[in-house]
Amino acid sequence: MEKRRVVITGLGIVSPVGNSLEEAWANVLGGVSGIKPLTRVNPDDYPAKVAAEINDFDPEQFMDKKEARKMDRFTQFAVVAAKMAVKDADLTIDETNAKRIGVWVGSGIGGMETFESQFKTFLERGYRRVSPFFVPMMIPDMAAGQVSIYLGAKGVNSCTVTACATGTNSIGDAFKVIQRGDADAMITGGSEAPITQMSMAGFCANTALSTNPDPKTASRPFDANRDGFVMGEGAGLLVLEELEHALKRGAKIYAEIVGYGSTGDAHHITAPAPGGEGGARAMQIAIDDAGASPEEVDYINAHGTSTPYNDKFETMAIKQVFGDHAKKLSISSTKSMTGHLLGAAGGVEAIFTALAIKNDMIPPTINYETPDPECDLDYTPNESRKKEIHMALSNSLGFGGHNATIALRKFKK
């Protein structure tokens, strides 16, 4: 059976580098960092002093105040980004098509802010004072649930939870839903609001976060002096459509999604497998799924967390898959500017990858100052670059050994 073609027709973003597509893309191309001193929790309590926070977010611009109060911050982000994406796609959802339009939105840790505040209430005042909305606000699938409710999308409704691979897994899984004919369109991506007391404590305790107090240089993927990732928050949601469905309604098309690879390391709860072998297999599967060869890939939006092991092993994985072509690839980590949005990272980075293809522009990896002999590829240091991009990959690698890659191609009829 011939695979149905799937294209990207709408993008919506809430991020540390901007809460509109235009602002976020301009800032990323300009190498503008969204990382600032930590304010959402007391920085004196943690060795990590910086974060990629969203300080200008007002959910009431998009929804009723009463409804917003029934949502954790991560769900608010998702609903707002979904509304943006559907508006950008100029997609009308009504009773004529609602059952063929689905939602697949993931979150790595869900409503941690709600959990912490309600647990404090429970300890101080007992169970009767815990909000009846506690569980529906906290559970990770509620972003998908609320997006479906707000948009009236009645098709496939699901949530992926694969740590930092969540956003990319969600998009890949939604792509397959359309490809096999179970939906005509999907609203998909990831959302996360992890800048909370316990999240910060947990990531500091396992020494994953950068302790560099300088917001400008704390996130430095592939640089020899990298010392951990910077926590970020936000959401990235995309509208995927079956090609004929999109063409019939005259939709604009950013790029075509052509491949998806998902693998498990079966190695360690947090550390990537030696040599990045799981990530290498995910990339190879995505390329094979696209019916392409490694030499056709021009750009990779890397997972590139700015942690010592991740960047080294991802580099090794790229070399394993691409061989001599690895040196010709343009690679960048937009986490150098956005920080690491955990379950939302793949959604935001898929948006940047689609825009890179559409505009033939490679975003930079900022703060790349001291080359690491073990990270010796072209990471597009410090300045964006004009380059024709026919095909690109976006990588995400998560705790638990989850690896996900999506392959995007410049759209041609």
Contact of 222 with 372, CB cutoff 8 Å = yes
At 405 the three-state DSSP class reads strand
Of these residues, 164, 245, 375, 402, which one is catalytic?
Answer: 164
Q: What is the mean pLDDT of each run of 10 residues along the chain (413 residues)?
A: 92 98 98 98 98 94 93 98 98 98 98 98 97 97 98 98 98 98 98 98 97 97 98 98 98 98 96 94 98 98 97 98 98 98 98 98 98 98 98 97 98 93
Q: Any catalytic annotation for residue 340?
A: yes
Residue holding tokens 């986490």?
335
Domains of the chain: 6-248 (3.40.47.10), 259-409 (3.40.47.10)
Q: Any catalytic annotation for residue 164?
A: yes
> What number of CA atoms fall less than 13 Å from residue 146's CA on the CB side?
28
Q: How many whole angstroms separate alpha carbon 395 and alpha carbon 301?
A: 6
At 193 the three-state DSSP class reads coil
Q: What share of the chain is helix, strand, coil (3-state, %, to 5)?
A: 40, 20, 40
- Residue closest to 17 by CA, chosen among 348, 370, 260, 385: 348
What are the backbone dihedrals phi and psi of residue 189, each rounded to the nearest 5 degrees, phi first?
Answer: 150, -150
So what's the pLDDT on residue 413?
87
So what's the pLDDT on residue 121?
97
Q: How many whole angstroms separate alpha carbon 17 and alpha carbon 14?
A: 8
Amino acid at 273: A
Q: Any catalytic annotation for residue 402?
A: no
Both tokens assigned to 232: 């970020």
Of these residues, 245, 303, 375, 402, which one is catalytic?
Answer: 303
Strand partners, 190: 106, 236
The pTM for the full model equals 0.98
At 112 the three-state DSSP class reads helix
Of these residues, 159, 245, 340, 402, which one is catalytic?
Answer: 340
Q: How many C-beta atoms lie closer than 10 Å to residue 124's C-beta?
A: 8
